[in-house]
Chain A
Amino acid sequence: MEFIRFKNVTKKYKNGVVALYDLNISIEKGDFCFVIGGSGSGKSTFTKLLYREEKPTKGEIILGGLKVNKLRNSNVYKLRRKLGIVFQDYRLLPKANVYENVAFALEVMGESKKEIRPKVLKALELVGLKSKLRDYPDDLSGGQQQRVAIARAIVNDPKLLICDEPTGNLDPVMSMEIVELLADINKKVGTTVIMVTHDKEIVNNMKKHVIALKDGHLYKDYKEGEYIDEIL
């Protein structure tokens, strides 16, 4: 079942730079998809369009039946509640502990403490950090911090997990652990995962659906297992 559809999407920024040209992409529900490409290939723009940080200049983006490009600014939060987003720099609150960081996502939606607690514990269990509830981000390793960020992204049971270079700051071992964790979530919970990366090894090892972008164009759309180290 199709979950995400990019129809002739072009994105031109105000400064005149064209990041994506006439992009046509389809991603299935429950898919684990890598988006790869060099610098300036349009990977980040691709994710920003997905979570509606940016609007396409032309074309249409459909996510779970919702026309993302038609969404008004005041309603963007409704889309974001169905998404989990993970970044390279973790984006955790430094003055809040692990539990508070994950709970924050539910707190700002106005959920009660009673509702929040079991959800946070479940998410932290899934990422293997249940024993570090009271630790602060600065006390954790990079990999652990990224796990907290992933727990925060999945605590609300999102339909889609968008990961923008989540392993960019991690060593190869930790990187692999994080990707395996994402694959695990994808498999166990059925969450669709889109992961932007330029880590060759990960993409080669995982043998998943790969969308390769080059200079803002779709270079190739590899089905599961089709990708062999080509352009990276």
Chain B
Amino acid sequence: MKFFRLLGRSVRDAFKSVGRNFALSLASISCIVVTLTIIALSIIISYNVNNFSEELKKDLTIVAFVSNEADETDLDKAKKEIEAIGNVESVTFKDKSEIMKEMMDEDDAFKTAMGEWDAESNPLQHTYLIKVKDIEKIGETATTIKNLTNIDVVKYGEGMVDQLVTVFKVIQKVAIVAVVALVLMTLFLIVNTIKLTIFSRKREISIMRLVGASNFAIKLPFVVEGMVLGFIGSIIPVFVMIYGYYSLYNYFGGKLFTDLIKLVKPEPFIYFASIIVMVIGILVGMFGSGRAVRKYLKV
């Protein structure tokens, strides 16, 4: 009960103090707004990149062509060898006559050209369609498969996949560095806001000490003030994020430029992301003020 009374008092004091040191509070809040907006953006980008990578993983297939000299035993052996590779998730065999049929169905030109082929004269090759677990290692896996006996050519969207993976990695790294830098700057500003509050309430603090307020009771209002700054600072980014993402999603119709890059559906993703952004705001406020209290209050 005492704890809740102290907490109630601290919340009241915290709001009062935000008003009293309005200019500095506004500076902290603005900084939190910028930081959290960028964090929100990073979350949206990272989550979409992850989602897209997952989708790619589902779609990306290594196609391994089997030499026409291979007999039944060789085919079985090759399949077992491919399955034994760590990064391989599944292996599907596709007969060359089946491929021929598919190609003929796809295009009339193929139909005319291939119509004269029979099982013996079909120059196409049997193939294995291979799915991988980790698309980042698809290059390595393709090389391993290529080196197996009776496997002629291995194809996957080399250039595009490699480039995409690299670009995504760079985007994620830049986002992380930007977020860390901004979080540190915000912490610094919050420490200073709370420091000023501590100075303006020095007399009150000294009286609190004299009359026997516990360290916890002395610290609590300042920590709550930091949390309030963080909370207020998170409101705008959360709204921007929810409204912005919905608009973006609807504007692009759920995909970015091509059918290949699908955006994550706004619900429930955007609400979880909002909670994360808000919690980050509150935690940054809490740690910032906690640090200031330890440094300047000496309790």
Point out residues on A near B: beta carbons under 8 Å.
51, 73-74, 77-83, 85, 91, 93, 104-105, 107-112, 152, 156
Contacts A91-B203, A110-B3; A80 near B215 (Cβ below 8 A):
no
Q: Closest residue to B8 on the A side, CB-wise?
A: A110
> How far does the alpha carbon of A74 sit from the alpha carbon of B3 in the complex, in Å?
17
Are A108 and B211 touching (Cβ within 8 A)? yes
Residues on the A chain within 8 Å of B80, using CB? none
> How far does the alpha carbon of A29 sit from the alpha carbon of B9 in the complex, in Å?
36
**B210 sits at the interface (CB 8 A):** yes
Q: Closest residue to B207 on the A side, CB-wise?
A: A91
**B265 sits at the interface (CB 8 A):** no
Residues on the B chain within 8 Å of A112, using CB? 1, 5
Measured CB to CB, the closest approach of chain A to B262, in angstroms, equals 54
Residues on the B chain within 8 Å of A80, using CB? 209-212
Could you name 18 residue pairs across A and B whose Cβ atoms are closer than 8 Å?
Answer: A73-B299, A74-B215, A77-B213, A77-B215, A80-B210, A80-B211, A81-B211, A82-B212, A83-B212, A93-B203, A108-B6, A109-B214, A110-B1, A110-B6, A111-B5, A112-B5, A156-B211, A156-B212
> How far does the alpha carbon of A105 sit from the alpha carbon of B173 in the complex, in Å?
52
If over half of B's interface residues share one DSSP class (helix, strand or loop), that class is named, otherwise mixed; here it is helix
Are B208 and A108 touching (Cβ within 8 A)? yes
Measured CB to CB, the closest approach of chain B to A33, in angstroms, equals 20
Q: Closest residue to A79 on the B side, CB-wise?
A: B212
Total residue contacts A-B, CB cutoff 8 A? 58
Residues on the B chain within 8 Å of A91, using CB? 203, 206-207, 210
Contacts A93-B204, A110-B6; A105 near B217 (Cβ below 8 A):
no
**B2 sits at the interface (CB 8 A):** yes
Residues on the B chain within 8 Å of A73, using CB? 299
Measured CB to CB, the closest approach of chain B to A90, in angstroms, equals 10
Are B215 and A109 touching (Cβ within 8 A)? no
Measured CB to CB, the closest approach of chain B to A39, in angstroms, equals 23
With beta carbons under 8 angstroms apart, the residue of A83, A109, A156 that contacts B217 is A109
Residues on the B chain within 8 Å of A108, using CB? 6, 208, 211-213, 217-218
